[in-house]
């Protein structure tokens, strides 16, 4: 629970920072005289807040809940998890402040200063170990597909995180190998940590909420192994044309194309599970979040595959196209699936219903609209930017100026997302107030209650 | 397949494959790439940065310049980096051996800076650009970095310091703008950015006219150290350069 609340808080902060960064892209004078808020510091701070503050925490929370639910077992050692969560929050706070203060390491998605890495790692280890032990002690021995994804994510994250921090921050490799390791890490953070958790949740909630059994377990498992194998090879397409050996990029490109296989698996499986039930999706708000997220997953993966083709990347490389893909995956896929899950889980943990269902509707409409607007204009902007960049006749200043209206629209999209998230947070606040009124307990004891109730 | 251990092994194996393939194997391939001597000039390449420029690299990193500026030139015929004058050859692994962190960058909201030290050698212009980009590049969308400068009130009759920026009407009367040490370091770093040494795997294009003769020959000499088969050869063939239209 603590993970969820602090995750939501970081989400808002992250979106505000993203918004500031986005405004700066078309109004460079905005907040320019404060070194702490210069564009080059706000952008990485926003990304780190979203990734480690919101995404990782929510992912961990939902992972723990699903592990309990699917294993029909109590959470193992909740106090340790609380300690881990507090430590994680301290680490993220220190890291984001560090970035804003100018102590960024300069490695995308690993900008937090070096001393933060061990804090985050220990915090993760505490939570992760409890999650694994919870899994180990499960009473329901039969495994559901979601557990495959979640268990795998649990092992993959510490590996990529420790490997990347060791090879980049503590015992750095030389030259452009740093960029290669970095690309491997960013790709895997999204593909092998957030994606499996998001998909695991989607595999649980889509059949659950539509009251239909999953269409095919075999396809899901086949999809799992192909995803596991191809994702982690696919990261280096983001360095196409860059100063690293060619074979690495080629290998990544091959893996990227093969990602079509798990993509089709997920698409068929979800579609066939929901076939004939799409009216449900319209009526059930929670299911709407999850299905929207699943659609965004397909879009984002497809965009990643198309963007990996050298002929396309010749244009889209270094442009807003890439930003659009990150937003689509993070806000669209992961964010929306997580919101759906939170709307389902939190009332069951607290035994308090959402106070305002209207706010849920507002949240969905503004988020879905905002994400669509943001991503579509950034893709168009990226294509314009890229094709003009490859036309030496267009001056660079003119090129940048031509994309400004589109970046302005994307700011609107982000603003709309922020409104949706504020609706969510307001609702959460009302719910918690009600909950506290009922239980009269200090905030920190909530996980204890969660523990007993996770067994429902 | 419900067996936990098998699942666990599978999970470990899949990630291990790319960890070996994309992290450890390249380390074996180019992890110990040596510095090389450029035959034409006899200099070791890449040469280290002078102290001030190294400090500037820290300023560049801390302020996130790499969020908008890349430092990589793509091969000729792949994109228009060459035609835009961002570099006379593509950048290769050899160019970055001294950099930590390597700031290749992912977005080009601003132009590429891999060769900015070649394109613009005037330190004063760089300072003015940092203070207010619109002065040197009208219409630029780069944020001003006024916090790298110091505004000082001049006493009546006092003349401006020698390092004050000649800004004309931009600065109020009786005041002067002086670069802080960070600004000077950053400019030193920008001036040190050049990746145009002719390398075996990335020769300079042979321009038939106005090219210095020694430059034209140096492109074919190749590396002179004992490691004559450069590990980055593969990188040259990355995308067969097609002549630009």
- What average pLDDT score do residues B72-84 get? 90
Give the per-residue pLDDT at B224. Answer: 37
Cα–Cα distance measured from residue A37 to residue A26, given in angstroms and rounded to the nearest whole number: 15
Predicted confidence band of residue A291 (pLDDT cuts 50, 70, 90): very high
Q: Looking at chain B, which runs of residues are DSSP E strands?
A: 36-37, 44-45, 149-153, 175-179
Name which of A244, A256, A406 to mutate to probe chain B: the one with the most chain B Cβ atoms within 10 A of its Cβ. Answer: A244
Give the per-residue pLDDT at A2. Answer: 53
Please judge whether A33 and B146 are an interchain contact, meaning their C-beta atoms are less than 8 angstroms apart: yes
Q: A388 to chain B: nearest residue by CA?
A: B80
Q: Which of B105, B141, B238 sits opposite A400 (nearest CB)?
A: B141
Longest dimension (CA), chain B: 88
- What average pLDDT score do residues B79-97 get? 90
Please judge whether B101 and A172 are an interchain contact, meaning their C-beta atoms are less than 8 angstroms apart: yes
Name the minimum distance, in Å, from the CA of A234 to any CA of chain B: 9
Please judge whether B101 and A105 are an interchain contact, meaning their C-beta atoms are less than 8 angstroms apart: yes
Query: Which is it for the CA torsion A116, A122, A126, A127, positive or negative?
Result: positive
DSSP B211: -
- What average pLDDT score do residues B68-83 get? 91
Backbone φ, ψ for residue A403 (5° rounding): -90, -10
The per-residue pLDDT for range B109-137, each reduced to its tens digit, is 899 999 999 999 999 999 999 998 988 88
DSSP three-state, residue A81 = helix
Q: Looking at A207-304, which runs of residues are DSSP E strands?
A: none
In terms of C-beta density within 10 A (0-12 exposed, 13-18 middle, 19 or more buried), how is residue B104 classed? buried
- Does an H or E element contain A409, and which? helix A404-439
DSSP three-state, residue A275 = coil
Q: A148 to chain B: nearest residue by CA?
A: B7
Q: Is the CB of A311 inside 8 Å of chain B's CB atoms?
A: no
Other Cβ atoms within 10 Å of B224 Cβ, number: 13
Question: Which residues in chain B are closer than 8 Å to A225, comparing Cβ atoms?
Answer: 10, 14
Cα–Cα distance measured from residue A120 to residue A95, given in angstroms and rounded to the nearest whole number: 10
Give the per-residue pLDDT at A114. Answer: 92
- What average pLDDT score do residues B71-99 get? 90
Q: Is the CB of A360 inside 8 Å of chain B's CB atoms?
A: no
Q: B5 to chain A: nearest residue by CA?
A: A136
For residue A174, is pLDDT > 60?
yes
Half-sphere exposure of A222 (CA within 13 A, CB side): 14
Beta carbons of A268 and A222 less than 8 angstroms apart: no
Q: B92 to chain A: nearest residue by CA?
A: A243
Q: What is the mean pLDDT of chain B?
A: 80
Give the per-residue pLDDT at A18. Answer: 54
Dihedral angle of Cα A182, B84, B56, A177, to the nearest 10 degrees: 20
Report which of B26, B160, B203 is spatially closest to residue A176, judged by C-alpha positions: B26
Name which of A18, A27, A33, A40 to mutate to probe chain B: the one with the most chain B Cβ atoms within 10 A of its Cβ. Answer: A40
Residues 6+ positions from A381 with CB-CB distance below 8 Å: A319, A320, A403, A406, A407, A410
Name the minimum distance, in Å, from the CA of A427 to any CA of chain B: 35
Predicted confidence band of residue A3 (pLDDT cuts 50, 70, 90): low
Name which of B35, B36, B62 to mutate to probe chain A: the one with the most chain A Cβ atoms within 10 A of its Cβ. Answer: B62
Cα–Cα distance measured from residue A147 to residue B15, given in angstroms and rounded to the nearest whole number: 18
Q: Is the CB of A106 inside 8 Å of chain B's CB atoms?
A: yes
ipTM: 0.87
Please judge whether A246 and B29 are an interchain contact, meaning their C-beta atoms are less than 8 angstroms apart: no
Predicted confidence band of residue A115 (pLDDT cuts 50, 70, 90): very high
Predicted confidence band of residue A186 (pLDDT cuts 50, 70, 90): very high
Give the per-residue pLDDT at A35. Answer: 67
In terms of C-beta density within 10 A (0-12 exposed, 13-18 middle, 19 or more buried), how is residue B189 classed? buried
Residue with tokens 């979106």: A15
The per-residue pLDDT for range B56-73, each reduced to its tens digit, is 999 999 999 999 999 999
Question: Which residues in chain B are closer than 8 Å to A251, comparing Cβ atoms?
Answer: 21-22
Q: A249 to chain B: nearest residue by CA?
A: B238
Cα–Cα distance measured from residue A93 to residue A450, given in angstroms and rounded to the nearest whole number: 25
Q: What is the mean pLDDT of chain A?
A: 84
**Residues facing residue B151 across a β-bridge:** B177
DSSP three-state, residue B150 = strand
Name the minimum distance, in Å, from the CA of B62 to any CA of chain A: 4
| Distance from chain centroid for Cα B215 | 22
Beta carbons of A82 and A1 less than 8 angstroms apart: no
Report which of A276, A438, A258, A261 is spatially closest to residue A349, judged by C-alpha positions: A438
Residue with tokens 């030139």: B73
Q: A191 to chain B: nearest residue by CA?
A: B15
Which range among A69-73, A75-79, A339-343, B86-90 shows the weakest confidence by mean pLDDT? A75-79
Residue with tokens 């929050």: A89
**Chain A, window 256-295: residues with a beta carbon less than 8 angstroms from a chain B beta carbon:** none
Give the per-residue pLDDT at B100. Answer: 87
Name the minimum distance, in Å, from the CA of B84 to any CA of chain A: 5
DSSP string, A86-120: HHHHHHHHHHHHHHHTT---SSTT--S-TTHHHHH
Cα–Cα distance measured from residue B142 to residue B178, given in angstroms and rounded to the nearest whole number: 20
DSSP A453: H
The per-residue pLDDT for range A354-381, each reduced to its tens digit, is 888 889 999 899 999 999 999 999 999 9
Q: Is the CB of A389 inside 8 Å of chain B's CB atoms?
A: yes
Q: B25 to chain A: nearest residue by CA?
A: A248
Name the minimum distance, in Å, from the CA of B63 to any CA of chain A: 5
| Distance from chain centroid for Cα B152 | 33
Beta carbons of A202 and A291 less than 8 angstroms apart: no
Q: Which of A34, A106, A180 sits opposite B22 (nearest CB)?
A: A180
Cα–Cα distance measured from residue A161 to residue A369, given in angstroms and rounded to the nearest whole number: 33
The per-residue pLDDT for range B162-175, each reduced to its tens digit, is 888 888 777 777 88
Q: Which of A44, A175, A233 sits opposite B67 (nearest CB)?
A: A44
The per-residue pLDDT for range A246-281, each reduced to its tens digit, is 899 999 999 999 999 999 999 999 999 988 878 777
Task: Tell me the count of A-B CB pairs closer than 8 A.
Answer: 233
Q: Is the CB of A244 inside 8 Å of chain B's CB atoms?
A: yes
Name the minimum distance, in Å, from the CA of A102 to any CA of chain B: 4
Give the per-residue pLDDT at B207. Answer: 59
User: pTM of the entire structure?
Assistant: 0.87
Name the minimum distance, in Å, from the CA of A361 to any CA of chain B: 35
For residue B45, is pLDDT > 90?
no
Give the per-residue pLDDT at B227. Answer: 36
Give the per-residue pLDDT at A298. Answer: 94
Cα–Cα distance measured from residue A194 to residue A330, given in angstroms and rounded to the nearest whole number: 8
Please judge whether A245 and B2 are an interchain contact, meaning their C-beta atoms are less than 8 angstroms apart: no
Give the per-residue pLDDT at A45. Answer: 85
Q: Is the CB of A175 inside 8 Å of chain B's CB atoms?
A: yes
Please judge whether B93 and A40 are an interchain contact, meaning their C-beta atoms are less than 8 angstroms apart: no
Give the per-residue pLDDT at B181. Answer: 93
Give the per-residue pLDDT at B170. Answer: 74
Residues A420-423: contacts with CB under 8 Å, at least 24 apart? A420/A362, A420/A363, A420/A364, A420/A365, A420/A366, A420/A367, A420/A370, A421/A8, A421/A11, A421/A12, A421/A15, A421/A363, A421/A367, A422/A12, A423/A359, A423/A360, A423/A362, A423/A363, A423/A366
Name the minimum distance, in Å, from the CA of A95 to any CA of chain B: 13
The per-residue pLDDT for range A314-324, each reduced to its tens digit, is 999 999 999 99
- What average pLDDT score do residues A330-334 get? 91
Which range among A42-51, A239-248, B87-96 shows the weakest confidence by mean pLDDT? A42-51
Give the per-residue pLDDT at B229. Answer: 37
Name the minimum distance, in Å, from the CA of A289 to any CA of chain B: 29
Identify whether B101 is preceded by a cis peptide bond (ω within 30 of 0): yes
- What average pLDDT score do residues A230-259 get? 91
């Amino acid at each position: 629970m603590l993970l969820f609340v602090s995750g939501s808080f970081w989400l808002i902060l992250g979106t505000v920072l993203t918004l500031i960064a986005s405004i700066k892209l078309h109004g460079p004078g905005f907040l320019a005289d404060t070194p702490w808020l210069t564009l080059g510091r706000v952008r990485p701070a926003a990304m780190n807040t979203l990734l480690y503050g919101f995404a990782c925490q929510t992912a961990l929370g939902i992972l723990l809940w699903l592990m309990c639910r699917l294993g029909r077992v109590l959470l193992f050692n909740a106090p340790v998890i609380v300690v881990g969560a507090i430590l994680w929050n301290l680490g993220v706070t220190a890291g984001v402040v560090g970035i804003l203060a100018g102590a960024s390491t300069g490695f995308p998605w690993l900008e937090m200063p070096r001393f933060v890495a061990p804090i985050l790692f220990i915090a993760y280890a505490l939570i992760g170990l409890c999650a694994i032990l919870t899994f180990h002690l499960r009473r329901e021995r039969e495994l559901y597909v979601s557990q495959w994804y979640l268990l795998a994510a649990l092992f993959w994250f510490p590996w990529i995180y420790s490997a990347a921090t060791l090879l980049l921050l503590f015992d750095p490799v030389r030259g452009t190998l740093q960029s290669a390791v970095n690309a491997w890490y960013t790709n895997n953070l999204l593909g092998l940590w957030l994606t499996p958790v998001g998909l695991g949740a989607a595999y649980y909630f889509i059949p659950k909420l539509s009251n239909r059994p999953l269409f095919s377990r075999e396809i899901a498992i086949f999809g799992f192994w192909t995803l596991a194998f191809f994702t982690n090879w696919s990261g280096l397409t983001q360095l196409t044309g860059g100063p690293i050996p060619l074979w690495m990029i080629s290998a990544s490109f091959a893996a990227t194309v093969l990602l079509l296989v798990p993509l089709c698996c997920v698409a068929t499986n979800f579609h066939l599970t929901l076939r004939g039930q799409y009216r449900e999706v319209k009526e059930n708000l929670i299911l709407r979040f999850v299905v929207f997220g699943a659609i965004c997953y397909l879009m984002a993966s497809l965009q990643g595959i198309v963007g990996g083709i050298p002929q396309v990347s010749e244009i889209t490389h270094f442009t807003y196209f890439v930003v659009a893909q990150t937003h689509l995956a993070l806000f669209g896929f992961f964010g929306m699936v997580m919101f759906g899950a939170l709307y389902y889980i939190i009332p069951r943990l607290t035994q308090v219903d959402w106070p305002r269902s209207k706010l849920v509707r507002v949240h969905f409409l503004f988020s879905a609209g905002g994400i669509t607007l943001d991503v579509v204009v950034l893709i168009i902007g990226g294509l314009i930017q890229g094709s003009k960049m490859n036309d030496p006749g267009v001056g660079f200043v003119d090129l940048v100026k031509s994309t400004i209206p589109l970046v302005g629209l994307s700011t609107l999209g982000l603003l709309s997302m922020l409104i949706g998230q504020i609706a969510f947070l307001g609702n959460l606040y009302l719910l918690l107030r009600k909950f506290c009124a009922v239980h009269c307990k200090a905030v920190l004891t909530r996980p204890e209650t969660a523990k007993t109730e996770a067994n429902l | 397949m419900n067996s936990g251990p098998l699942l666990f092994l599978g999970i470990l194996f899949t990630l291990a494959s790319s960890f070996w393939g994309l992290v450890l194997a390249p380390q074996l391939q180019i992890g110990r790439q040596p510095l090389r001597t450029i035959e034409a000039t006899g200099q070791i390449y890449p040469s280290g940065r002078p102290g001030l420029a190294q400090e500037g690299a820290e300023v560049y990193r801390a302020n996130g310049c790499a969020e908008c500026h890349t430092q990589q030139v793509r091969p000729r015929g792949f994109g228009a980096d060459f035609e835009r004058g961002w570099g006379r050859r593509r950048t290769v692994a050899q160019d970055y051996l001294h950099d930590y962190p390597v700031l290749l960058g992912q977005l080009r909201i601003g132009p590429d800076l891999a060769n900015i030290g070649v394109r613009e050698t005037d330190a004063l212009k760089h300072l003015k650009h940092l203070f207010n980009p619109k002065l040197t590049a009208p219409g630029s969308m780069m944020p001003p970095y006024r916090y790298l400068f110091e505004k000082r009130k001049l006493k009546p009759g006092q003349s401006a310091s020698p390092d004050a920026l000649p800004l004309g009407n931009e600065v109020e009367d009786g005041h002067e703008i002086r670069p802080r040490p960070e600004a000077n370091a950053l400019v030193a770093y920008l001036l040190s950015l050049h990746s145009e040494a002719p390398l075996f795997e990335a020769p300079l294009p042979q321009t038939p006219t106005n090219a210095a003769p020694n430059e034209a020959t140096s492109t074919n000499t190749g590396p002179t150290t004992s490691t004559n088969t450069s590990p980055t050869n593969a990188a040259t063939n990355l995308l067969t350069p097609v002549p630009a239209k």
